[in-house]
Structure 1
Amino acid sequence: MMRLWLSSADLTRIRFADRLHPAGTVLLASQALRQPSVAAALPALARRVATGAPALRPLHHLMPAQGMAPDFLTPWEGVASIEDGLAAIRSTPAGRVRADVTAAYAHTKVSAARRRFAAADPLVLDTLVTAMGAYFRQVLAPDWAELTRAHRQAVGEAASRYALSGADGVLAGLHQGIRWRAPMLEVDTWQAGEVRLGGHGLILVPSPFAGPRPRVLVAPDRPALVVYPVEPPAVPAGRRTASDPLAGLFGRTRSAVLIHATRPGRHTTSTIARQVGISVSSSSEHLSALRAAGLVSSHRDGGAIVHGATALGRDLVNPDEDRPG
């Protein structure tokens, strides 16, 4: 458990990352796409990982499959491009490499390459950086625009919550592994400790690649970085929103919820969550918004709430379908 103490100055300096960090996203994705649930939600990316295996093997071997990763592989610099991020990683002092890798390898099986990496062998670091570049180009680059749009949508939804409920509402609703007990933010992450942010603030990063638990990166005289899990895009990456016109109006996730509500069968909040690949709480939120707009109706059936699209909702999803009267 990591406990972050926020002063009044920190609360005025809470912000969201305005863009994805290419090198940092490579690191997260290289772990996340080894998890069956994430691979199933993003099959196009998972297929690219499988087909590019030889070039990506050093990254997968040197990085633990989940849990802590060396902090220096998510540099504060290098946000503009993958090349800038990899250059920042290459310039990391050897002492920092040794400290970060040793901490990340606490529960990882020893191998010759991992031992050399923990000793800051420059050849091993170069091999890793080369594999990270290949990972970005082969796996992420084809859908980088889609992933960027999903990031902006998640930030936009958080901004809407901030407008309605302020910083308290945003911090309290980030993720089930993050608890806001003013003035302390408890993060159920891979590290343990307590940090006073000292007025430097907090940067929040929603990511479908964060993993099962949020991640925290703390550096002296920097804002704390908290990466927290969000649902993968409802439309598989690489698919244009033009194929789903409603996505441009509602956003991909809400559009997918409405589409599933029009299909035959008994749809509860939980079943729609599973079908779309989102949490039950997120499913409930989207269904409430669609119900308020008159696109979904809901009724209690036994111990569950059952949802279905209204005539208006069905017409939006299938405008050319003939219906009686």
Structure 2
Amino acid sequence: MLDVMTLHLTATDLSRTVLRSAPSVLLELGAAGQRLFEAAVPEHLTAWRARTRAALRPQMRPYLDLCRLPWWFPDFLTPPSLGSDLTAALDEVSATPTATLEAELRPRIAAGDLPARVGALAAGEPVARQRLRAAMVAFHEVAVAPYWETITAAVHADRAVRGSTMVDAGIERVLRNLSPYLYWKPCGERYELSYECGFANEIGLAPAGRGVTLVPSYLVPRPCVLDDPTGPLVLAYPIRPGRRELASGQPLADLLGRTRAAVLGAIAGGPSTSQVARTVGISVASASQHTSTLRQAGLITTQRAGPAVLHTLTPLGEHLLRAGRGS
């Protein structure tokens, strides 16, 4: 029997469904860790995995210990905010209550799914918490940070396509074509969105009016659900990358400078200046200065939409972004 997760959605859930505009740094980090232990990865990740494996260090083990199971990943490592800022996200992980660590990790240790050394973290020991945070930072530096511009640009491009579909055809069309792993089925006044998973024969979740937050991801291998009862149900789904290999944006950074190249990549999805600033991790004033320079160079265009200033790539900017990343 196939293992199936089904989301039971109402019209209210559909009306409250939103699409995230930026990747989640901890979601990508967790997926990167799990990809290391897969038997095979897609062609566009083969070279990335080889480079990442070659760069692994012993201090990363406290985090990678938690990434070894293909069908399970600790919820506390992907807190509900799913932000793009690593420091803020790690602060959330560090603040995880000991009771939560115990509840998530002890059963896996007892079942032999996790090594016994994870027990110190399950007990909430301060040194174990510190080692986990240091391991996440170290792993992020080799597995995600060098590729963040490429990941962000791909996620923005996916969101732009979904956003256009939502405007032209509605949210049902978006959900129907979200991923080849997901199956959409109207059922009278309700709707079902299901996918094959690897941890139960059949599970059903009902947001019951809380809505759904769609999170596009470059590295997750298959859809996954994060259900925080206090907020919308989160559905992360794998995008279809528009390139053959995940590579860093170094050539483009050499040409424009690292920050300006990151700003250009962040503009792929048509964001506002403040959204660019949050994505790149710079001040709004700095983002405004960089977008002004890119606009004067003919790489982006800018228009006002109410109080927001929105930026989009010109054909020249799109060409430069693709060429700089070897697409």
Tell me the TM-score normalized by structure 1.
Answer: 0.66
Query: Counterparts in 2 of 1:237-256, with a 5 A limit?
Result: 237-239=247-249
- Pick aligned residue for 1:18 from 16, 21, 33: 21
Query: Counterparts in 2 of 1:12-161, with a 5 A limit?
Result: 12-35=15-38, 37-38=40-41, 40-42=43-45, 43-44=47-48, 46-77=50-81, 79-102=83-106, 108-161=112-165
SS at match of 2:225: strand
CA contact (8 A) 1:70 1:104 kept: no
Distance 2:82 2:171 in 1: 28
SS at match of 1:184: strand
CA contact (8 A) 1:10 1:201 kept: yes
Identify the residue that residue 166 of structure 2 maps to in structure 1.
162
- The alpha-carbon deviation at position 136 of structure 1 amounts to 1.5
Distance 2:156 2:30 in 1: 20
Distance 2:232 2:35 in 1: 25
CA contact (8 A) 2:6 2:193 kept: yes
- Pick aligned residue for 1:217 from 226, 229, 235: 226
- The alpha-carbon deviation at position 70 of structure 1 amounts to 0.7
Deviation string 1:172-193 (CA, Å, 9 cap, x unpaired) is 1122322112312223234552
Which one-letter code corresponds to 1:21 in the other structure?
S
CA contact (8 A) 2:18 2:212 kept: yes
Identify the residue that residue 205 of structure 2 maps to in structure 1.
195
Distance 2:139 2:147 in 1: 12
Once the two structures are aligned, what percentage of the paired residues are identical? Answer: 27
* Structure 1 runs not aligned, ≥5 long: 253-325
Cα 1:152–1:141 shift into 2, 3 Å: same
CA contact (8 A) 2:32 2:143 kept: no
* Structure 2 runs not aligned, ≥5 long: 254-263, 269-327
When structure 1 is superposed on structure 2, of 221-230 and 86-95 the one drifting more is 221-230
Which one-letter code corresponds to 2:161 in the other structure?
E
Deviation string 1:221-257 (CA, Å, 9 cap, x unpaired) is 21111111233451532156869xxxx9xxx9xxxxx
- The alpha-carbon deviation at position 34 of structure 1 amounts to 3.4
CA contact (8 A) 2:66 2:74 kept: no
When structure 1 is superposed on structure 2, of 35-44 and 86-95 the one drifting more is 35-44
CA contact (8 A) 2:121 2:129 kept: yes
* Number of equivalent positions: 244
Distance 1:107 1:2 in 2: 23
Identify the residue that residue 318 of structure 2 maps to in structure 1.
none
- Pick aligned residue for 2:236 from 227, 234, 250: 227
Cα 1:105–1:41 shift into 2, 3 Å: farther
Which one-letter code corresponds to 1:145 in the other structure?
E
Tell me the TM-score normalized by structure 2.
Answer: 0.66
- Pick aligned residue for 1:3 from 1, 6, 13: 6
Greater Cα radius of gyration, structure 1 or 2: 1
Distance 2:224 2:105 in 1: 16
SS at match of 1:38: coil
Distance 2:131 2:66 in 1: 10
Distance 1:107 1:228 in 2: 29
